[in-house]
Structure 1
Amino acid sequence: MTLSHDVAGTGPAVLLLHSTVCDRRMWDPQVPALVGAGYRVVRCDFRGFGASPMPDRPYNNAEDVVALLDELGIERAAVIASSGGGRVGLEIAARWPDRVTSLGLLCTALAGHEPTAELDAFGDREDALIEAGDIAGATDLNVDAWVGPEADASVREQVRVMQRNAFDVQIAAEEEFGQIKVEPDLSAIKAPALLVSGDHDFADFRQIAVHLTGVLADARHLELPWAGHLPNLERPDEVNGILVDFLRETHAAG
């Protein structure tokens, strides 16, 4: 199954990977800016998110995304990824290092990270609401947890719609197939990386950014004092400038 996706613009390819609180619509504010800067922008929905249905067999998100790039004839791309999408981006950059020119990670997750008590408590509360059948409550919990103070009501509603859609698609599945997990060797990553964290996010994501800055061969950490977990939606114009500048340094258009 090909992941649901869209492509816009011409030039060097930039792949956008969404947070698992959202789907590819989270990048709506970034697509025009990246296309205007001279890039071919590809964004997709992981299985069970957005318009991509649940899988009918065990699967691996990174392999799904690489298969999509193959289908589109894209040999090399910059990867911009958010949260859970960052975990996928890291796996792609580690397993196929020659295909990733640069790696921009916004509040990225990391395979093997030991969650803080605060993040564990959030997960326990989410599980309890879902088990009780309170999907609306679980959705509101996610919006409150992941959307930072700079976001307006329209952004909060956009995240609510995306998260509720993910819950509905995943809960409706007749059979659940697990992901094929791979522990990537991060030392294999060649791409220069920008690691962005937000001061209003869970402490875990700053910890991950600091850790990766010390692990990856070419990485720098940028902490945004105003940001929550989804800075590209909270202050899109500012984040667009950060991303375009990073791409111009590492993945020149034209």
Structure 2
Amino acid sequence: MPTAAGPIDCVVSGDGPPVLVVHGSPGGHDAGAAMAGFLADGGLRTIVVDRPGYFGTPLASGPTVDGQADLYAALLDALGIERAGVLCWSGGGPSSYRFAVRHPDRLTSLVACAAVSRRYVFTGEKGAEKLIMDTGLGRRMLQLMARYTPEKLVEATIAAEGDLTADELAARVAHIVADPDKQQFTLDIAVAANHSGPRRAGFDNDMTQFAAIESLELERIERPCLIVQGTADSDVRPEYSGFAAEQIPGSELVELAAGTHLAFWVHPDSGPVRQQAIERFRSAAG
């Protein structure tokens, strides 16, 4: 989609009040589509983007978090949409929070899931983890695991994204594999977690931008904000959501006990929280 701020890849589907879906780091439209599945079931129109540097969206369309926020507004202009809700996750947080600050008249409601809300420094992977997450071979290995050993990949993903005891991990994996939608979501996100190839430029830029954050000016956000956080998240720690809840006036923080980085979608108690998000998007749209 050409916009006044530059081209951006997006997938638009469904009918109803529009919701912009902003993926994490790494990510892309595939991860965004997994994030957005429950919204379509709730009668909402979804606009899933590739943030700059991911897949077909040039990094030049918005290399900074402010530039990405402005790109979202330009995309809404190009689509003829006056206002939209925003669902963001993890590394999609900084640009989404800045969209709420810089374009408050374009936002109906914000749902931020385990979202980066201040400076975030990535320390990198080592050894086998680097092979899996940072190479084309690792990407292919993840794809093969998702196809042939899905339960093993679910277990590895949940273990890597949360501080769970052995018993908690076994129970969470059993819960996920017993639910086809939750298992598919976990597998989709696991494959999208590799940041080689078409995600490389976006991921590397994200890490540079996030390490340079001084303030996202969260206290200036005026629209309703639901913040969701798993208490055992080892990727974006709970203090990021706690900080956002403290700074954003009138925000609501929902914590999912022993939830990992994927808690909003796969936690045993996440269903009512997703329904709350749907209701917020629908009611805020008027």
What TM-score does the superposition give when structure 2 sets the normalisation length? 0.68
Partner of 1:81: 88
Q: Distance in 1 between matches of 2:209 and 2:219?
A: 23
Name structure 2 gaps, 5 residues minimum.
Answer: 1-5, 143-155, 178-182
Q: Distance in 1 between matches of 2:134 and 2:50?
A: 25
Does residue 104 (structure 1) correspond to residue 111 (structure 2)? The answer is: yes
Partner of 1:185: 217
Partner of 1:71: 78
Contact 1:95 1:184 in 2 (8 A): no
Q: Distance in 1 between matches of 2:201 and 2:216?
A: 31
Partner of 1:62: 69
Q: Distance in 2 between matches of 1:7 and 1:76?
A: 15
Give the aligned length.
242
Contact 1:46 1:61 in 2 (8 A): yes
Cα deviations across residues 32-58 of structure 1 (Å, max 9, x unaligned)? 532342322111111232x32442576
Q: Distance in 2 between matches of 1:21 and 1:247?
A: 25
Q: Secondary structure at the match of 1:246?
A: helix
Partner of 1:168: 197
Does residue 245 (structure 1) correspond to residue 280 (structure 2)? The answer is: no
Contact 2:53 2:201 in 1 (8 A): no
Q: Secondary structure at the match of 1:248?
A: helix
Partner of 1:40: 45
Q: Distance in 1 between matches of 2:47 and 2:134?
A: 34
Alignment of 1:19-38 (within 5 A): 19-29=24-34, 31-38=36-43
Aligned letter for 2:80? G
Q: Per the alignment, do residues 5 and 209 of structure 1 end up closer, same or farther by CA in structure 2, a change over 3 Å counting?
A: same
Q: Per the alignment, do residues 233 and 99 of structure 1 end up closer, same or farther by CA in structure 2, a change over 3 Å counting?
A: same
Q: Per the alignment, do residues 41 and 137 of structure 1 end up closer, same or farther by CA in structure 2, a change over 3 Å counting?
A: closer
Q: Secondary structure at the match of 1:223?
A: strand
Name whichever of 31-40 and 104-113 sits farther off.
31-40
Among candidates 150, 160, 171, match of residue 145 of structure 1: 160
Q: Secondary structure at the match of 1:101?
A: strand
Does residue 52 (structure 1) correspond to residue 28 (structure 2)? The answer is: no
Q: Which has the higher helix share?
A: 2
Contact 1:46 1:52 in 2 (8 A): no
Partner of 2:245: 213
Partner of 2:10: 5
Partner of 1:125: 125
Aligned letter for 1:108? A
Cα deviations across residues 145-200 of structure 1 (Å, max 9, x unaligned)? 33784355755542342133x42125589xx8976978542222111111111122
Q: Per the alignment, do residues 167 and 7 of structure 1 end up closer, same or farther by CA in structure 2, a change over 3 Å counting?
A: same
Contact 1:76 1:98 in 2 (8 A): yes
Contact 2:62 2:68 in 1 (8 A): no
Q: Distance in 2 between matches of 1:242 and 1:110?
A: 20
